[in-house]
Chains A and B, each alone.
Chain A
Amino acid sequence: MKDIQEERKTMKPDASTEREVVIDIKNLKKSFGKLDVLTNIHLKLYKGENLVVLGKSGTGKSVLIKCIVRLLDPDSGTIEVLGQEVSTMNNKDLENVRKKIGFLFQSGALYDSMTVKQNLEFPVNRIRKDLKGPVILQKIEEALANVGLPDALNTMPSELSGGMRKRISLARTIVVDPLIMLYDEPTTGLDPVTSDEISLLINEVQKKYKTSSIIITHDIECARATADRIIMLSEGEVYYEGTIEDFDNSTDPLISSFFKKQNHE
């Protein structure tokens, strides 16, 4: 674990230069019936960074990133992705924005009825229509190799372990070269060793594919390993923002209870 953290420090982007904003969320509000999930969210994602979003389960972390790709429609507020307002755009533009975003679902969301190869072909055929047969296969093999499962091509998702499914799912998102990655609890439900491997993979994706990422998690170890910056959500708002050191040194009861509780586990 220490190694991952040390490595991260050396690759932190230079803070002094003016940084490009890839996702800019203002006043985001979302409720389901009487349940106010997000009340007022402000958030910026800068180019090339790994932004970790922390929060208890049920605070609306998944809802937040689903609003970014408009799987859910926000009630009010603005969401700009790469300079374009997502919440009011037409279907064509939305499709183009979605093509630039990789979404790693909490459950992996691999297509049960398809082999691993077909799972990876699916987005390639639909998002990278410029590519042809042999190039597609090459890309798929490359993506699988990048997640450390080069031989999984012809297996079915049901034959894979939880960690492997997450990796394949990650391969399926990176195979189309996204600019932005949204990770929904990438390490939840995995054992500590596999979690660390996934955290490492997230960092590798950031390096290799030059992605800007939002990583949603309640796993502090994953946050330590991957975060350039951390935002904590509570009661539908951004509760605190800072680096991992800021969070470690915080005396705020909510933050320290969150960190301590997890450290003892």
Chain B
Amino acid sequence: MKNKYIILALNPVVKAKDIVSMQTVRLAEKVVEKKNIATLFFSDLGNRALFVARTTKEMFSRDFEFREFLRQCFEIGNKSFGLIAITGGIMGVVLTIQSRPALAEFGAVTMLPGMVALSIIREIGPVITALILAGKIGSGMGAELGSMKVTEQIDAMEVSATNPMRYLVVTRVLAATLMLPLLVLFADFFGILGSWIGVNIKGDVSFVLFISQAFTSIDFLDFLPALVKTFFFGAVIGFVGCYEGYNAGRGTESVGIAANSAVVVSSLLVIIVDLIAVQITDMML
């Protein structure tokens, strides 16, 4: 039973239909319980804010669980590196092939590397990576903490004189916040590499020339906002995944629900954060 949900949860491509129906059931249960959807919404929002506040407070406590933090960093990097590399590379190839005809019409094919690199670094790299990790890491956290909650492992930690918020949540949130920018850099790198391959399908450009073409149109100000927002993406994925898992209900089915909500909520929040980040960048530049 439990395994089934974990497999379901760890699958990054969770079926949208299942998610929607599970969310509806959960919402319906809560509505029946409390009868007022507005109260429900705000109490949920309040609980999430409280969770973030508590976690942040615990981050600055004396006993930081350093080993568990390193282990989480490794897990996140190790689990997603391959996926990120492949997706990034393919995005680069595809983007290049699709952009070529439009540029060719204006005789601006030499701008191809620069344009693709710019869109990868500013938008495609961060967002695609964050969405993939929302599926992979977010659901993993939701499922893992959810099953730890259901099987009383979190309680067991608490009676072993260990603060589970500190041991489980702080380490995961920080690891996600730190690893996501790193993985985005990898995605960017493989994306640009893919783009070079894409350019060479219908032409012959050396890697050195390609890179110099690509980076003439990119400066630090393109790079910085993109980097900054990836930290927020990481934090969002960590917080949401941990919140859903940590607050899972008491039955086995809650594990699946926690994993699914983690994906849905964090994907949505990533997009919203991206929208805000773009607005801010736009205002500042």
Query: What are 6 A-to-B residue pairs whose CB atoms are below 8 Å?
Result: A98-B160, A99-B161, A107-B151, A108-B151, A109-B155, A122-B162
Inter-chain contacts of A109 with B (CB < 8 A): 151-153, 155-156
B158 on the interface (CB 8 Å rule)? Answer: yes
Mask: chain B, 129-165; 1 = CB below 8 Å from A; 0 = not: 0000000000000001001100111011111111000
Closest 7 CB pairs of A and B: A109-B156, A109-B152, A123-B160, A105-B152, A103-B159, A107-B151, A95-B161
Bound CA span A109–B148, Å:
8
Complex-state Cα separation, A99 to B162, whole angstroms: 10
Contact check, A112 vs B161: say whether CB atoms are below 8 A apart. no
Most buried by A among B148, B158, B161: B161
Given the known inter-chain contacts A105-B152, A111-B153, please indicate yes or no for A126 contacting B158, CB distance below 8 A. Answer: no
When distances are taken between beta carbons in the complex, the residues of chain B under 8 Å from A126 are 160-162
Chain B binding surface SS class: helix
Encode A88-109 as 1/0 by CB contact (under 8 A) with B. Answer: 0000000100110101011111
A200, CB-defined interface residue at 8 Å: no
Tell me the smallest distance from the CB of B246 to a CB of chain A, in Å.
14
Are B161 and A127 neighbours in the complex by a CB distance under 8 Å?
yes
Nearest B residue to A33 via CB reads B33
A69, closest chain B residue (CB): B159
Contacts of A111 in B (CB 8 A): 148, 153, 156
Instruction: Determine the chain B residues whose CB is within 8 A of the CB of A99 once the complex forms.
Output: 161
**Bound complex: CA of A180 vs CA of B144, how far in Å?**
30
Closest Cβ of chain A to B153, distance in Å, is 5
Cβ contact of A71, chosen from B144, B151, B158, B161, cutoff 8 A: B158
Chain B neighbourhood of A105, CB < 8 A: 152, 155-156
Q: How many B residues, CB 8 Å from partner?
A: 14
A66 contacts the other chain (Cβ, under 8 Å)? yes
Hey, what's the 0/1 contact readout for A109-133 against B, CB within 8 Å counting as 1?
1111100000000110011000000
Chain A residues with Cβ below 8 Å from B147 are 112
Residue pair A107, B160 in contact (C-beta under 8 Å): no
CB-CB under 8 A from B148, the residues of chain A are 111-112
How far apart sit A109 and B162, CA to CA, in the bound complex (Å)?
Answer: 15
Complexed CA–CA distance, A66 and B152 (Å): 11
In Å, the complex CA distance between A71 and B153 comes to 12
Q: Give which listed residue, A101, A106, A107, A108, contacts B159 with CB less than 8 A.
A: A101
List A contacts of B151 (CB < 8 A).
Answer: 107-109, 112
Per the bound structure, the CA–CA distance linking A98 and B156 in Å amounts to 11
Q: How far is the CA of A101 from the CA of B147 in the complex (A)?
A: 24
Cα–Cα, bound, A110→B148 (Å): 9
Chain A residues contacting B153 (CB-CB under 8 Å) are: 109-112
| Closest B residue to A113 using CB positions | B144
Q: Do B152 and A107 touch across chains, with their CB atoms under 8 A apart?
A: yes
Contact A127 B156 (CB under 8 A): no
Q: A112-B148, A112-B153 are known contacts; what are 8 more A-B pairs with Cβ within 8 Å?
A: A69-B159, A98-B161, A99-B161, A103-B155, A105-B156, A109-B151, A111-B148, A123-B161
Quick check: A127 and B152 within 8 Å, CB to CB?
no
For residue A107, which residues in chain B have a CB less than 8 angstroms away from its CB? Answer: 151-152
Which residues of chain B come closer than 8 Å to A69, judged between CB atoms? 159
Residues of A close to B160: CB separation below 8 A? 98, 122-123, 126-127
Q: Mark A218-260, 1 if CB is under 8 A from B, else 0.
A: 0000000000000000000000000000000000000000000
Question: A205 CA to B90 CA in the complex, in Å?
Answer: 61
Write the nearest CB–CB distance from A24 to chain B, whole angstroms.
20
Residues of A within 8 A of B155 (CB): 66, 71, 103, 105, 109
Which residues of chain B come closer than 8 Å to A71, judged between CB atoms? 155, 158-159
Chain A 47-68 interface residues, beta-carbon cutoff 8 Å to B: 66
Q: Which of A101, A106, A113 contacts B152 (CB 8 A)?
A: A106
> Closest Cβ of chain A: how far from B65's Cβ, in Å?
10
Q: In the assembly, what is the distance between CA of A123 and CA of B155, in Å?
A: 13
Compute how far the CA of A209 lies from the CA of B164 in the bound complex, rounded to whole angstroms: 28
- Assess whether A98 is in contact with B159, with CB atoms less than 8 Å apart: yes
Expressed in whole angstroms, the Cα–Cα distance for A109 and B147 within the complex equals 10
Docked CA distance A106–B152 (Å): 8
> Bound state CA distance, A102 and B156, in angstroms?
10
Question: Across the two chains, which residue of chain A brings its CB closest to B153?
Answer: A109
Q: Which residue of A lies closest to B34 (CB)?
A: A33
Contact with A along B155-181 (1 / 0, CB 8 A): 111111110000000000000000000
- Which chain A residue lies CB-closest to B3? A158
Contacts of B156 in A (CB 8 A): 103, 105, 109, 111
Write the chain B residue with the least CB distance to A158. B3
